[in-house]
Amino acid sequence: MKFIDEVIIHVASGKGGDGRVSFRQEKFIPRGGPDGGDGGAGGAVVFIADGHRNTLIDYRRKRHWRASDGRPGDIKQMYGAKGADCVCYVPIGTLIHDAATGELLADLDAEGARYEIAGGRGGLGNMHFRSSTNRTPRRSTPGKPGVEKELRLELKLLADVGLLGFPNAGKSTFLARVSAARPKIADYPFTTLTPQLGVVERGDLQTFVLADIPGLVEGAAEGAGLGIEFLKHLERCGCYVHLVSPEDEPLDPVRRYEVLREELAAYGAGLEERPEVVVLSKADILAPGERERLVEALQAASGGGPVFVASGVTGEGVPRVLDAVWAVLEAQRAEGVKFTPVVREADPFDDEDVFDDEDLFDDELVDEE
């Protein structure tokens, strides 16, 4: 399935049903009085976060989503039926923006999280307008119109840990080693073209979600490689596993590490300030003497922090990397640290006026002729 993480759609909630003007007409009940019922409310457009979905492709294929209108009121004070809701299931981590203003309307960051655009209220039947001076009111109110909006849906993956590295750094192999994910693995760069998620289990109740972020090269923050398209998926991550391959092409290992740190800073959103676990990958191909030299060089470049040596192929050093990651996550969870995505300005475009949901009794009365 194609990975789609941003779409613009048009949604419309249902119009409320009109109120009814009618009078009770039964044998042996003279002057039965008004009995026109109220109209039903229009259907709502409801967005629900669903953990079984990981792409917005359904909304690329279908751009218009509309709820049903409410039914008008009926005789004998019967209410009109409510319009059917339009339910839209989206992946966890979906942001809903007003496409015209750029305002963030909802962040569906948990299973079952909901955002609702209510339908129009139903109009009042003439049974509400009876008084001591008006026994036979011939008035009702129309149903409220629904709300129409252009929405921009943006998916920012909900992962605890981001897996960083230049193309061909061994990220897919590492992800396959530590989780049940089965990403494509090959000996050429840009094998992975979309973010891949895997659940890492370290024992009872010790699990976290690891995201392989593809396409990071020099200039990614300005659009090089796969560019900013996937950098945004790092915004929710609490820490990073930064894999550095020992090969000298296209850049030497230390420079590759520095370049990706510069790209995180250029992107913004505080990505460069997140904790990271630096890993010298592909330990199975390291020549004798190279391991110590590269570890010392990476320690100097990263400010003196620990540098782990691991191999996704043989599993060497992988448990130590996971222990370090879990220690960071456990500390963040104990402190209640939570990273929220940054709302960035989108290109504005024209939008139709949005209907206001005024007070129920502010409607203009409709006189029956």
Q: State which H helix or E strand residue 161 sits in.
A: strand 161-164
Q: For the chain of 369 residues, list the mean pLDDT of each consecutive stretch of 10.
A: 76 94 85 89 94 82 93 92 94 90 89 93 92 88 93 84 83 84 54 69 77 64 52 79 82 86 80 87 82 88 87 89 89 78 51 35 44
Question: What total of structural domains would you count in the chain?
Answer: 2
96 and 243 in a single domain? The answer is no
64 Cβ partners below 8 Å, 6+ apart?
A: 9, 10, 11, 12
190 and 303 in a single domain? The answer is yes
User: Can you tell me the distance from the alpha carbon of 54 to that of 65, in angstroms, rounded to the nearest whole number?
Assistant: 20
User: Can you tell me the distance from the alpha carbon of 366 to that of 228, in angstroms, rounded to the nearest whole number?
Assistant: 55
- Domain with 251 in it: what CATH number? 3.40.50.300
Q: Residue 341 falls within a domain, yes or no?
A: no
178 and 319 in a single domain? The answer is yes
8 and 108 in a single domain? The answer is yes
Segment 328-340, tens digit of pLDDT: 888 888 887 777 6
The pLDDT value recorded for residue 178 is: 85
14 and 88 in a single domain? The answer is yes
CA-based nearest residue to 23, from 136, 175, 165, 106: 136
209 and 146 in a single domain? The answer is no
Q: Residue 270 falls within a domain, yes or no?
A: yes
Calculate the alpha carbon distances from 361 to 77, 87, 125, 143 in Å: 18, 29, 12, 11
* Cβ atoms of residues 308 and 280 within 8 Å: yes
The pLDDT value recorded for residue 218 is: 54
Phi first, then psi, for residue 129 (nearest 5°) are: -105, 10
Helix, strand, coil shares, percent, the chain, to 5:
20, 25, 55
186 and 273 in a single domain? The answer is yes
Tell me the chain's radius of gyration from C-alpha atoms: 29
72 and 185 in a single domain? The answer is no
Q: 4 burial class (0-12, 13-18, 19+ CB within 10 angstroms)?
A: middle
The pLDDT value recorded for residue 304 is: 81
The pLDDT value recorded for residue 215 is: 60
Last residue of a domain, one of 133, 155, 177: 155
The pLDDT value recorded for residue 224 is: 47
User: Can you tell me the distance from the alpha carbon of 19 to that of 139, in angstroms, rounded to the nearest whole number?
Assistant: 9
Q: Residue 359 falls within a domain, yes or no?
A: no
- Domain with 39 in it: what CATH number? 2.70.210.12
Last residue of a domain, one of 103, 123, 155: 155
The pLDDT value recorded for residue 269 is: 73
190 and 328 in a single domain? The answer is yes
Q: Residue 29 falls within a domain, yes or no?
A: no
The pLDDT value recorded for residue 189 is: 46
In our burial notation (b when 16+ CB lie closer than 10 A, e otherwise), range 207-217 reads: ebbbbbbbbbb
| The CA-based dihedral angle spanning residues 356, 362, 363, 369, taken in that order and rounded to the nearest 10 degrees | -170
Range of the domain at 116: 1-23+34-155
Q: Residue 196 falls within a domain, yes or no?
A: yes
Q: Residue 356 falls within a domain, yes or no?
A: no
The pLDDT value recorded for residue 151 is: 94
DSSP string, 225-267: TTTHHHHGGGTT-SEEEEEE-S--SSS-HHHHHHHHHHHHHHH
Q: How many Cα atoms are found within 13 Å in the side-chain-facing hemisphere of 315?
A: 4
The pLDDT value recorded for residue 338 is: 73
* 3-state DSSP assignment of residue 75: coil
Last residue of a domain, one of 111, 134, 155: 155
